[in-house]
Amino acid sequence: MKENNLDKMNSLEKRAASSLASIYALRMLGLFMIFPVFSLYGQQLEHNTPFLIGFAIGAYGLTQAIFQIPFGMLSDKVGRKPVIIAGMLIFALGSVVAAQADSIYGVIIGRIIQGSGAVAAAVMALAADLTREEQRLKIMASIGMSIGFAFAIAMVLGSILNDIIGVSGIFWLTAAFALLGVVVTLFWVPDAPQSFHRETEPVPAQFKSILSDHQLLRLDAGILILHMVLTATFIVIPMALTNEQYAALPSAQHWKIYLPVMLLSMALMVPFIIIAESKRRMKEVFVGAIAVVALSELGFWAFNDSLYALVFFLLVFFAAFNILEASLPSLVAKISPAEAKGTAMGVYSTSQFFGAFLGGIIGGKLLGLYGINGVFLFSMSAMLLWLLIALTMKSPRYLSSFVVKLTNVQTDDIVRVTAGLTAICGVAEAVVIPEDGAAYLKVELHALDKVSLKEFSNKYSEGDK
């Protein structure tokens, strides 16, 4: 019975998981509903150019990259909920600005403001505040799943809503979603005592070591390239689908493409993720997915005159994209030092958002210079560059990060406590930091003796040494 209690989320943790995942999902819906439609809408705005259309699509990434770590640090000082509420209100303001804009510059300003409401780090920190160490991985996984589902829904919903309320209406709806996120934060997210969590929050003193870790830098470069390619690709995919000489599919019908593509691609992802984790073939699956995205970009370039080919390569693209999107955070967690996971994830997230910004401005510029084929060739080349980077990556250790409370450990106890932790079945590494009142572990989850670990934690939290 004791082990079952350790393995199950309690009611507060379930409420935390559902409420925080919903905040993330509401924000992601707002950011990505314009992806499948904006490049067409942008051509109707005053002062539009291909470069400025791309800038508008990716502009949120610049301010998101700039502010997401500082907002997380600010939440340590002023509280998680105030930062989340302020961020969602800023996001709503940006949505209203974009909704009322009649020129491309107005939309760009709105998207820049949207990105400034960077709440991701504060949400993750609050999730850590609200959960026991044994359940933290589940909470983070549920939030991660909400992001993936929100993106898939946004791709379909944006196409449908564009025909009903237009892109300006989508921006108004985005503002409403942000305000709903404020309501969720105020009335659904539980309150919790606040503490610092190295596994979810960056530590400024660790940036130098994380930025000099070549294995982590490979992953940071990878997520930057992946989201650069995603953003650039979806500047031109709507144009390719509506090209009157070739595919000739009206934008109101694009959801009929995105819906089955998203559903099938998520189903295709699952067996490969299982193989990667359970069969310990992470690097092979990861590198293969990069190559497949590159091949899909080649397919877009070679066969964008055929609707059926576009649909096929969209399916291939998103199946591989989903594998990479799920694998990259897992690889960061496996490779990063246990006590620096929060810093590693902060740098990783910043790279992701900056990649979206680069994809917008580079994709828009190339569209103006060389047309849609220029964007596809650039995206393929970027993925091939990443493929070369990934081939030099070391195979990861199949370990997960884990935290245990040790509130009564002194500096003189570190060696003895570390030895005791590593003697527990499933614990591969342990870093004890007395000032945190915690030990940061690398563990084999399937072999971890959670009961013994809990007993050890209790022993060094009660003073009975």
400-405/427-433 β-pairing: unpaired
Query: How many degrees, rounded to 5, is the angle at CA 41 between CA 119 and CA 367?
Result: 90
Options 2.60.40.1170, 2.40.50.100, 3.40.50.720, 1.20.1250.20; CATH for 205-398 is 1.20.1250.20
Query: How many degrees, rounded to 5, is the angle at CA 26 between CA 267 and CA 100?
Result: 125
Q: Identify whether the C-beta of residue 237 lies closer than 8 Å to the C-beta of residue 314.
A: yes
Residues 6 or more apart whose Cβ sits within 8 Å of residue 19: 184, 185, 188, 189, 190
Provide the pLDDT for residue 6.
Answer: 56
Place of tokens 């790279």: 351
Domain limits, the chain: 12-201, 205-398, 400-462
Residues 6 or more apart whose Cβ sits within 8 Å of residue 96: 110, 171, 172, 175
Q: Identify whether the C-beta of residue 320 lies closer than 8 Å to the C-beta of residue 193.
A: no
d(CA 394, CA 79): 39
Provide the pLDDT for residue 1.
Answer: 36
Average pLDDT, the chain: 93
Options 1.10.760.10, 3.90.1640.30, 1.20.1250.20, 2.40.128.20; CATH for 12-201 is 1.20.1250.20
Provide the pLDDT for residue 462.
Answer: 62
pTM of the model: 0.94
Query: In the chain, which stretches have pLDDT less than 70?
Result: 1-7, 462-465
Query: How many degrees, rounded to 5, is the angle at CA 317 between CA 313 and CA 320?
Result: 140
Tokens read off for 234: 């979806």
The 3-state DSSP class for residue 119 equals coil
Residues 6 or more apart whose Cβ sits within 8 Å of residue 247: 240, 241, 304, 305, 306, 307, 310
- Which of these, 225, 247, 355, 242, lies nearest to 297 by C-alpha position? 225
The domain defined by 400-462 carries CATH number 3.30.70.100: yes
Neighbours of 98 (CB within 10 A): 29
400-462: same fold as 12-201? Answer: no
123 half-sphere exposure, CB direction, 13 A CA radius = 33
Provide the pLDDT for residue 2.
Answer: 43
Provide Rg for the chain, Cα atoms. 23
Amino acid (one-letter) located at 410: Q
145-156 pLDDT, tens digit per residue, is 888 899 999 999
